[in-house]
Structure 1
Amino acid sequence: MKKDHDNYQWAALFDWDGVIVDSVKQHEQSWRMLAAEQHKEVKQDFMNKTFGMKNEKIISEFLGWSQNPKEITQLSKRKEELYKKIVQEEGLCLTYGVKEFLDRLKQKHIPMAICSSTTKTNIFFVLEKLGIKEYFPVIVGAEDVREGKPHPAPYLLTAQKLGYVPSRCVVFEDAPAGVESAKKAGMKVIALTTTRPKNNLENADLVISSWKDLSLETIDVLFNDVSQQ
């Protein structure tokens, strides 16, 4: 349910990988390491089709490695262990300009949340390393929902935890599955071309190439049609 938010008309919901952190390379590396360990194969372009989805869906539906729930869970857990190891050894960077954008939102007291297909354990680990945990009072990860993106459940839960109705949420995404999830949830979507070309993100309300391209006034305009709700 919507709370009484008089100072701001919308909340900001962020995907994690490719939006807050530049992590595509590390995720792909961890999948390929897992494949080598398990003597499995991965298609060359599988990341383009699966980035932003839950591990379980990737393992069972796209890679076709297993249909056994217990084995799928074990593979997913191992993948996240490998990813964390890579990040510990190589580090991880924020996407260009995102820290400044988060600071602008914080100055305006606009509430922020993370909604990701990544496990919260790894999200918290990276947030601590990068020193930005304070920006996100609400974090929804892979373990919080049964149905991952493109199902609307992840973003609906995030909005609920933040105390906003979906129509007053703007989502920042980089993947088609995430854009679809947010639109199904009834939210505004701004897509970044950090991991996908613009033509893959055409269902978003706005597509930008950099955080530097975005002003808070531009976001305000997206909510003109719900300003009286």
Structure 2
Amino acid sequence: MPDQPYALLFDMDGVLIDNTPYQARAFQLLFRDLGLTTNARRLLERLNGMPASTILRTVFTSPVPKKKLEEYAAQRELLYRVLYWDKRRELAGLTPFLQAARAAGFRIGLGTGSAADTIGYIIDHLDLRRYFDVVVGKDDVPKGKPHKDTFAETARQLGVPPERCVVFEDAILGEQSAYRAGMRVIGVSTSLRPEQFQAPLTVIKDFRGITPEQVHELLARHPATPKPSRELARRHYMKL
């Protein structure tokens, strides 16, 4: 019986595109309107990868109704789209890597905390949807990152077991999500320094720095999946 295929799972923000500075600017403008002094860049360094409404919940000292948080998140999304409208570009080397990965037999999935319209705003504008066998967003799972649901559901739909999945992630909580799902990680250093990741197979600046053959080699050299770090998650104000 032939081996099952491997799968490559991709986060979207900070992985397919280098948009974190624009996300941070949108949050900062929202905070200014709300009279908040939170530093958006530092906030995203801790919590990037989570839905915007969840991130926003952490910046208020008193509870805010869910409906109001969703309104703030929608305002932030509009600000982000205006700021990023003319800047939408894939990370260097992405399309050639996706084409080579498909030719090498990898299954390919997208697992993101974004909603369907936000996903389309990026991947359809950049004509990337055709490279993904599966697209999973925040409306497809009960819990977003750092819970395992996003990547677990992506793997389930791909029909590939977790131990044969590699996740491309730029965020600490996304990396934790992958480990909780039983997967290995390749870090993308658009938002973090390489040493800030917990235990990636490797860290790349963009997709010119990796080939499908190198992914196979990394998997062979590192067969074990790291355990998620409770200390690291706690440090980033999350509960495991």
Compute the displacement of 1:213 (Å).
2.2
CA contact under 8 A between 1:59 and 1:66: conserved in structure 2?
no
Gaps of 5+ in 2: 225-240
Compute the displacement of 1:26 (Å).
1.6
Compute the displacement of 1:64 (Å).
4.7
Identify which of 33, 55, 63 aligns with 1:58.
55
Compute the displacement of 1:83 (Å).
1.9
How many aligned positions are there?
221
Aligned to 1:158: 154
Aligned to 1:111: 107
Call closer, same or farther: CA 1:65–1:24 in 2, change over 3 Å. farther
Aligned to 1:189: 185
Aligned to 2:132: 136
Confirm whether residue 16 of structure 1 aligns to residue 24 of structure 2: no
Give the % identical residues. 26
TM-score (norm 1): 0.87
Compute the displacement of 1:203 (Å).
2.0
Identify which of 63, 68, 72 aligns with 1:75.
72
TM-score (norm 2): 0.83
Confirm whether residue 93 of structure 1 aligns to residue 89 of structure 2: yes
Call closer, same or farther: CA 1:168–1:17 in 2, change over 3 Å. same
Aligned to 2:235: none
Shifted more, 192-201 versus 211-220: the winner is: 211-220
| Separation in 1, partners of 2:30, 2:140 | 24
CA contact under 8 A between 1:138 and 1:161: conserved in structure 2?
yes
CA contact under 8 A between 1:8 and 1:110: conserved in structure 2?
no
Compute the displacement of 1:172 (Å).
0.4
| Separation in 1, partners of 2:100, 2:36 | 45
Aligned to 1:221: 217
Aligned to 1:206: 202
Aligned to 2:120: 124
Classify the secondary structure of the residue corresponding to 2:186: strand
Compute the displacement of 1:212 (Å).
2.2
CA contact under 8 A between 1:120 and 1:139: conserved in structure 2?
no
CA contact under 8 A between 1:19 and 1:194: conserved in structure 2?
yes
Call closer, same or farther: CA 1:63–1:163 in 2, change over 3 Å. farther
| Separation in 1, partners of 2:51, 2:153 | 16
Aligned to 2:233: none
Classify the secondary structure of the residue corresponding to 2:124: helix
Identify which of 12, 28, 33 aligns with 1:32.
28
Call closer, same or farther: CA 1:65–1:84 in 2, change over 3 Å. farther
| Separation in 1, partners of 2:145, 2:178 | 9
Gaps of 5+ in 1: none
Aligned to 2:174: 178
CA contact under 8 A between 1:50 and 1:62: conserved in structure 2?
no
Classify the secondary structure of the residue corresponding to 2:79: helix
| Separation in 2, partners of 1:77, 1:125 | 14
| Separation in 2, partners of 1:78, 1:7 | 47
Matched residue type, 1:140: V
Q: 1:107-143 CA distances to partner (integer Å, 9 max, x unpaired)?
A: 2242211111222211112112112121113111122
Q: 1:182-229 CA distances to partner (integer Å, 9 max, x unpaired)?
A: 011101111111210011113223223332221222221344449xxx
Matched residue type, 2:46: K
